Amino acid sequence: YHLPRFDIRFLARYNFGEKLYLNFELFARDGVYALIPGNEDIRLKGFADINLRGTYKFSNYLSLFADFNNLASQRYERYYRYPGFGFNCKLGGILTF
């Protein structure tokens, strides 16, 4: 249960000089079987997810990033009754010392 027949991941990274970094991620997975209460099994739908991340490095100690996840805003369950988020984004900073 919960093991897909195929799981595809693709990641591309591009550096614009030494300051700006861009990551593109695509992963897809076919439907899986899940065991539900009452010893029944159901098939969860497959899904594809696209993510984008940009990072700007101010110095060796400080950088800022922006993540944009699930750009297609797909609704899916990776596990039974554990839904994935729709489109979401997060902004943050990284301090290294």
Cα–Cα distance, 51 to 69 (Å, whole number) = 4
* Residue 71, pLDDT score: 94
* Residue 2, pLDDT score: 83
Cα–Cα distance, 32 to 21 (Å, whole number) = 34
Q: In angstroms, how far is CA 57 from the centroid of its own chain?
A: 22
* Residue 84, pLDDT score: 85
CB proximity list for 38: less than 8 A, separation 6 or greater: none
The number of helices, as runs of H, and strands, as runs of E, in the chain is 0, 9
* Whether 53 contacts 66, CB under 8 Å: yes
